[in-house]
Chains A and B, each alone.
Chain A
Amino acid sequence: QSALTQPASVSGSPGQSITISCTGTSSDVGSYNLVSWYQQHPGKAPKLMIYDVIKRPSGVSNRFSGSKSGNTASLTISGLQAEDEADYYCCSYAGSNTLEVFGGGTKVTVL
């Protein structure tokens, strides 16, 4: 059960847009539209930001958006704000035998 591949870090200035990639395989990201994204601030529990690749839970800012192409899912944060500085994890369903698989996480820094 290999982790999904995310960049270790991404940075941007306030107001800019950044995109975090999440690369899997044809057995997970490529086969299911069941990718979710989580934001985690230091010492806190993860928070759901995106599910079903593109859907936002109630209360999550529309500055956060998701997409997918082939085996790679992406999270875009537009209008970057200081409060967006956190770790972000992607997660994909990988079939009934493998369960879900997380990405290794991406640290977002607001410059």
Chain B
Amino acid sequence: QLQLQESGSGLVKPSQTLSLTCAVSGGSISSGGYSWSWIRQPPGKGLEWIGYIYHSGSTSYNPSLKSRVTISVDRSKNQFSLNLRSVTAADTAVYYCARRDIYSNYLDYWGQGTLVTVSS
């Protein structure tokens, strides 16, 4: 059974960089047919795509966040990461990692989510 687990700092100061890692177990991040995604959910609000990375390393980002986001993959550790620069309080959210089917674009396996608070 595939499992995803987010980790990283739960508190980030304004203007700094939010960094999270998603460890994948029970399957290979290099498997064809999938991309690896980040989604976030501000407290009490809905879901928002951040972006995703294919096993090849190519990426796609939400246009509204593109200038601040980098998603990378470490195949040797079977994990992928999110960096979000110049954060503000509006970036406070639960951040989820998930596996995305590249043909039908659905998210079938999710991490449990991690709350990141942006505050001084």
Residues of A within 8 A of B (CB): 1, 3, 34, 36, 38, 44-48, 51-52, 55, 57, 89, 91, 93, 96-105
A68 to B107, CA, bound (A): 19
Does A46 lie within 8 Å of B104, measured CB to CB?
no
Contact residues in A for B105 (Cβ distance below 8 Å): 34, 36, 91, 93, 100
A46 to B47, CA, bound (A): 9
How large, as a class, is the contact surface on chain B?
Answer: 20 to 34
Q: Which residue of chain B lies nearest to A32 when distances are taken between CB atoms in the complex?
A: B105
Does B51 lie within 8 Å of A99, measured CB to CB?
yes
Total A-B pairs, Cβ < 8 A: 61
- Identify 22 residue pairs between A and B in the complex whose beta-carbon atoms are under 8 Å apart, listed by A's number: A1-B63, A3-B46, A34-B104, A36-B104, A36-B107, A44-B112, A45-B110, A45-B111, A46-B47, A51-B106, A52-B104, A91-B106, A91-B107, A96-B60, A97-B63, A99-B49, A99-B60, A101-B49, A102-B46, A102-B48, A103-B46, A104-B46
Does A36 lie within 8 Å of B106, measured CB to CB?
yes
Does A46 lie within 8 Å of B107, measured CB to CB?
yes
CB of B64 closer than 8 Å to a CB of A? yes
Contact residues in B for A47 (Cβ distance below 8 Å): 110
Give 4 closest A-B pairs by Cβ, nearest first: A51-B106, A45-B110, A36-B106, A105-B46
Residue from the list B64, B101, B106, B110 in contact with A1, Cβ < 8 A:
B64
A100 to B38, CA, bound (A): 12
A52 to B108, CA, bound (A): 13
A105 to B51, CA, bound (A): 20
Contact residues in A for B106 (Cβ distance below 8 Å): 36, 48, 51-52, 91
Does A45 lie within 8 Å of B64, measured CB to CB?
no
Contact residues in A for B63 (Cβ distance below 8 Å): 1, 97-99
User: With contacts A89-B47, A99-B61, A99-B63 known, is A57 near B108, CB below 8 A?
Assistant: yes
Contact residues in B for A99 (Cβ distance below 8 Å): 49, 51, 60-63
